Amino acid sequence: MKFDKSLITKYGICFGVASLITLAVFWSKGFFGSDVAVNLQILSDGFFVSGILLVLFAGMMYISGEGALIGISYVLRNVVLTFIPGGRKKQELYGKYRERKMQEIKKSTDRCVLTVGLLFLTVGVICTVIWYTSYYNPSF
């Protein structure tokens, strides 16, 4: 079995970013100074936040790879060209602009951001379920 070093590097970077986000949430909530029930809630929050951020980022990468944001970039480009002297001469029609941009888009086939995000999201949901089954007491 042959391993692809670039794919392992991508997964490692995604896992490192998600871990840093998780540790930042742990640190901001005071993970090491609480009892078990509160620590389980903080674990749940940390993994859920990093997981949902990575999943949403993967969704944005997919949307931009499909060309859904080309219209926004066209409008912003034309607004900037309006304020530049002689910029109106550089404007092109939207159809030609979209066709040119669609040819330039490189679609990624690896799903490391989505996979790592779903992994962290799953751990966060599992920690939440464990907390609800073990420590949640609805009677006041």
pLDDT tens for 6-27 read 888 999 999 999 999 999 999 9
121 part of a folded domain:
yes
Distance CA 44, CA 99 (A): 45
**What does the pLDDT read at residue 1?**
54
Q: In total, how many domains does the chain have?
A: 1
For the stretch 96-129, pLDDT in tens is 988 988 888 877 777 899 999 999 999 999 999 9
Q: How confident is the model at residue 140 (pLDDT cuts 50, 70, 90)?
A: low
pLDDT at 108: 74
Is residue 85 one of the residues assigned to a domain?
A: no
Residue 73 lies in a domain: no
Can you read off the two tokens belonging to residue 138?
A: 């609805």
Answer yes or no: is 74 within a domain.
no
Q: What is the pTM of this model?
A: 0.80
**Residue 76 counted as domain residue:** no
- Summary count for the chain: helices (H), strands (E): 5, 0
Domain containing 111: what range?
5-29+36-67+105-131
